[in-house]
Structure 1
């Protein structure tokens, strides 16, 4: 009888440890998926889409030498743009929030040209399409129709 109780106890202990190990693997997978889908990091603009009737109607790449980079921490955003044919400086800094598939950026300050825009409009809302190593911020009109998007790839 003692021997049977010991076998049952050992079997229950093995099953409990196995379930706990499986739970830890699942928890780690969820954590990894959350990290992979995070906006945190450094991103470079790779192209644009124009939309008609909420479908991509045209796509194009930035012109030669044009470069735009965005950097996100857990709460802050900073971006800069280099346009070789334009001597105007373009950058902005502020904070962001993601709510479902909506990305909201609120800029605190920016370059001289951007400051003019920030004085009229500080908050920028986009539809967000976020994948592990790419994201698109999609401008929508007042009726929720897609207008255009900036498409980025993760560079760090």
Structure 2
């Protein structure tokens, strides 16, 4: 009888300990997923979508002679654009936040060309579709309809 009780307790402990490991693994997977769905990192522009009635009607890749990168830290954003055929500089720096499906960037300063834009408008609000290794920032019109998106992939 004592042997049966002893074996029962051993089996029960094994079952409970296996269940505990599964919960820890689930927590680790959930935390990893949250980290992957973060804007923090470096992103490169890959292309654009044009929308009509909130549906993609056209898409095109970026010109191979044109590069645009965005870098996000915990609270800061910086982007730069390079066009081999254009000597003007394009960059901007500021803060950002996002809450689910909305990205807000507030630029503090930028290149000479961009500073003219910043002097008129500092705050840029986009709809955000964020995935672990890509995202789309979608420009909306005054009625909340999608106009176009810039599409990025994670490079770091």
Q: Give secondary structure in 1 for the equivalent of 2:18.
A: helix
> What's the CA shift string for 1:8-61, capped at 9, x where partnerless?
332232122111100011011111211222211111111111111111111122
Q: Give secondary structure in 2 for the equivalent of 1:64.
A: coil
> What's the CA shift string for 1:96-154, capped at 9, x where partnerless?
11112011111111111111211221111111111121111000112110000001111
Does residue 133 in structure 1 map to residue 139 in structure 2? no
Does residue 107 in structure 1 map to residue 72 in structure 2? no
Scaled by the length of structure 1, the TM-score of the pair is 0.92
5+ long unaligned stretches in structure 1: none
Q: Tell me, in whole angstroms, the C-alpha distance in 2 between the residues paired with 1:94 and 1:19.
A: 46
Q: Tell me, in whole angstroms, the C-alpha distance in 2 between the residues paired with 1:10 and 1:105.
A: 57
Q: Tell me, in whole angstroms, the C-alpha distance in 2 between the residues paired with 1:85 and 1:145.
A: 33
Q: Give secondary structure in 2 for the equivalent of 1:150.
A: strand
Count of matched residue pairs: 156
